[in-house]
Amino acid sequence: MTGETGEDYTAHAGEIVLSNVNLPLSQPVSPERSVSPEWLVPLADPFILLHDDLYYAYGTNSADGIVVMTSRDLKRWRRAENGRNGLALHKEDSYGEKWFWAPEVYHVNGTFYMYYSAEEHICVATSRSPLGPFKQKEKKPMLEGEKAIDNSLFIDDDGTPYLFFDRFNDGLNIWVAELEDDLMTLKKETLHPCIHVSQAWEEIWPRVNEGCFVIKHQGVYYMTYSANSYESPFYGIGCATATDVMGEWTKYPHNPLLQKPGDLVGVGHSSMFKDKGGEWKIVFHAHRDKENIHPRNMFISSVGFRSVNGENELYIDPHYEVPLLEREKTMMFGDTSRVGAPFSKDPHVVHFQGRYLMYYSIPPMKGVERSGWNIGIAESHDLVTWEKVGEIVPDADAEYEKNGLCAPGALVRDGKVHLFYQTYGNGRNDAICHAISEDGIHFKRNPTNPIFRPMGSWNCGRAIDAEVCEFNGRYYLYYATRDPDYKIQMLGVAVAPIDTDFSREDWTEPVNASILFPELDWEGECIEGASIAIHNNTMYMFYAGAYNNWPQQVGVAVSNDGLTWKRLFNDPFLPNGKPGEWNESESGHPHIFTDPDGRTYLFFQGNNDKGKSWYISQKEVFWENGRPFLE
């Protein structure tokens, strides 16, 4: 339950910087909490949904609707802003003008259902995405003519859906009713009381049993609930059990299971979920501190079952975890070593020997005769802050590199970095080369360089922007080329066996045509810079559409075989920036990278001065129902 404060506690998500700060991730019972309150996740009545390997947290937070936050690991959370005004549910899409409390979200048969309270009435809204926007088709409560709050869905093993909620009847007490198959309509004739205030610890003030959540374990139903006012420091969590949802619920005699753990007070309104490892967790809120109620913050603990007198008993670990806010840290990298201004293009990142290495193109040295394009190397430990650690310069003995080299692509295989790059300045004769390194910095050329140029009358014989990846037992080389008139840039593909050393003779061309040709208006006359992510055994190609500064923007295509590609979106996945932003002139030449923790990042180049400077940045990419998206 939530009292109206009129205060919106969402601003912290964009203000907290977590870099170079040593913060605890879990707290034992006894010590005082050492984390400053502004680091905490300001969600009351919290609920966590795990969907497509991403955690979504919903809670009471905003006077205008319901917010959602996301996390990969339950430790670091960021505000997601996919709906109206950055809310998963906005009051303009719902019954009610105020008091948006206690949301819970469930994914059932392809639809996301949000159960929540508005103006002390229980409501439900739907969305195709866990981020929202959630909307009501009819802006009305589920139980008209009666105040009720804290509605929670439970679907039994036989598929019967039930809705638990609080009714205002001699204080607050918990009831249940069956739902119709639409999961939105109460069967009012099935309304049945579950629990009410009946234990001494619950009678401090006022008469409240609320915020329940039900799970089933080995044939027994377990209900966690909260008692006392949310304003009370003695707010706590109890448990009741039943063998029939519509039967008698019996409270544990030793309740509460969790009340004032460590230095937390006002602990309650919990819900349970299974983490990525399949273990039960419980999420709950607590007061800001012992002197202040708001903003109430989110905490997480473990839930388990132990045998007591031959029966399973639910328990809550009093050692809780402290989720923290994560500010989206912006990477802006520009190598100034060549022309005195930031100038870095064509990024490609690998994780190698305990750190990240980024390979990128740098222009000829200003004022130095016969200085061509080179490849820079930068190192990072957080994907945000980068330090240049080396360069790859043309091989003096290689005629094909005399004008320069650029547009690197890299992969790690057998403890070595394999670098694929293009020659520069040779027009139709530019080709793909290969080099190998044991430290990621110093490279040895492949003696068969250049290793690839395309054949056939469909292209001009040029190959640039190499991307090599392994898929279904062989290697794919994606490259950009032009039509015979040297006007239209497009993509081609070559393949090599899995045991290849990437030499010239191993590459064959399975398709005698372009695999992706510019067709959409925003792609202009160019598709280049392909980069591949493999997600759930499907290939996703992030590519650059249009020539530099037209503006160039990033699109996405998908393939199941690596040869036949279909665009996922008609509009750019990553557009150029708005007027005045750093990437106004373009967001281009993408590289898609998955870190060791499974998080996906899109690296790209951009500028706002038509190419006088070039920066490299990145954004995290998320996945939902087989489609990538950006927050």
164: β partners? 152, 176
Percentage of residues of the chain with pLDDT beyond 70? 93
Average model confidence (pLDDT) for the chain?
92
Average pLDDT over residues 346-356: 98
Q: Is the pLDDT of residue 11 over 80?
A: no
The SS3 assignment for 400 reads helix
Rg (CA), the chain: 29
The answer to whether the beta carbons of residues 163 and 174 sit under 8 Å apart is no
Q: Is the pLDDT of residue 31 over 60?
A: no
pLDDT value at residue 35: 63
Strand segments (E) across 6-110: 26-27, 44-51, 54-62, 65-71, 76-80, 89-90, 101-108
Residue with tokens 């062989």: 474
320-321 vs 311-316, strand pairing mode: unpaired
- Domains assigned to the chain: 11-325 (2.115.10.20), 345-532+554-566 (2.115.10.20)
The pair of structure tokens assigned to 450 is 């250049």
The pLDDT-based confidence of 199 (bands split at 50, 70, 90) is: very high
The SS3 assignment for 84 reads helix
CA atoms of 65 and 63, how far apart (whole Å): 6
Q: Render pLDDT for 384-407 as a digit per residue (tens, 0 to 9).
A: 999 999 999 999 889 999 999 999
Q: Render pLDDT for 477-507 as a digit per residue (tens, 0 to 9).
A: 999 999 999 999 999 999 999 999 999 999 9
Q: Is the pLDDT of residue 559 over 50?
A: yes
Statement: the pTM of the whole predicted model exceeds 0.75: no
Angle at 501 between CA 466 and CA 559, to 5 degrees: 45
